[in-house]
Amino acid sequence: MSDFAPSNDPALRVAVIIGSARGGGAGLSVAEWFTGHVGHRTDIDLDVVDVAGLDLPVSMPGRDGLPAPAPGTQAVLADVSPRLAAAEAFVVVTPEYNHSFPASLKNLIDWHHTQWQAKPIGFVSYGGVSGGLRAVEQLRQVFAELHAMTVRDSVSLHGPWSGLGKDGRPLDPAICDSAAKNMVDQLLWWGRALRTARAEHPYGK
């Protein structure tokens, strides 16, 4: 997609979610590359959410809200839930674990529901010969169930031996930069369209 024409719309609020909690993983470096690459854009406003810093248990309240989360969990949710709600779009940075995505990422997703609805989601994936694409394809199904809209283009980094350097950054920035631009352009188009739609017709009402 080509660059967008100048717009008077406010910058799109995009939450960048680092999905891996594995120690020594490349997720933080990949996210730093991505945010550094797109951080100069004036049409998006980034907020980075790192699941490694979120102590969310796998045990959740029932549909009636009971038992209530422990105070520590409530404190975590009081911080992260409003940030996800305020986001108008998301970029998920995910590795591929055993042909799928990390449990830590799924846990964050499952603790929330309305925060994802009627919002676009893009992906930056990494790992192995598939570049994390199998994780992305499964995440598309998960987010569809949550009424989110995943954009077609994604960024895929194919393993430390071909796509990432020892610092966790792309070895071929030209290809990755182009992929990132295309994905963000699509995310911005959908983000603006869905922002207008939600304002005119609140989702689910």
Binned average pLDDT, 10 residues per bin, the chain of 205 residues: 56 96 80 90 96 93 89 96 98 94 96 97 89 95 98 84 65 82 96 97 83
Q: So what's the pLDDT on residue 163?
A: 66
User: How many C-beta neighbours within 10 Å does residue 62 have?
Assistant: 7
Rounded CA-CA distance 127/150 in Å is 20
Burial class (CB in 10 A: 0-12, 13-18, 19+), 163: buried
Q: So what's the pLDDT on residue 161?
A: 45
Q: So what's the pLDDT on residue 197?
A: 97
Architecture of domain 33-51+74-199: 3-Layer(aba) Sandwich (3.40)
Rounded CA-CA distance 156/139 in Å is 14
Residues contacting 61, CB < 8 A, separation 6+: 67, 68, 69
Residues contacting 167, CB < 8 A, separation 6+: 29
| Token pair for 156 | 């895929």
DSSP for the chain? -PPPPP--SPPEEEEEEE----TT-SHHHHHHHHHHHHTT-SSEEEEEEEGGG----S----TT--SPPPHHHHHHHHHHHHHHHH-SEEEEEEE-BTTB--HHHHHHHHT-SGGGTT-EEEEEEE-TTTTTHHHHHHHHHHHHHTT-EE-S--EEE-IIIIIB-TTSSBS-HHHHHHHHHHHHHHHHHHHHHHHHHHHHS-TT-
Partners of residue 155 on adjacent β-strands: 124
Q: So what's the pLDDT on residue 6?
A: 47
pTM score? 0.91
Domain ranges of the chain: 33-51+74-199
| Token pair for 9 | 């719309």
Partners of residue 170 on adjacent β-strands: 164
Rounded CA-CA distance 87/115 in Å is 8
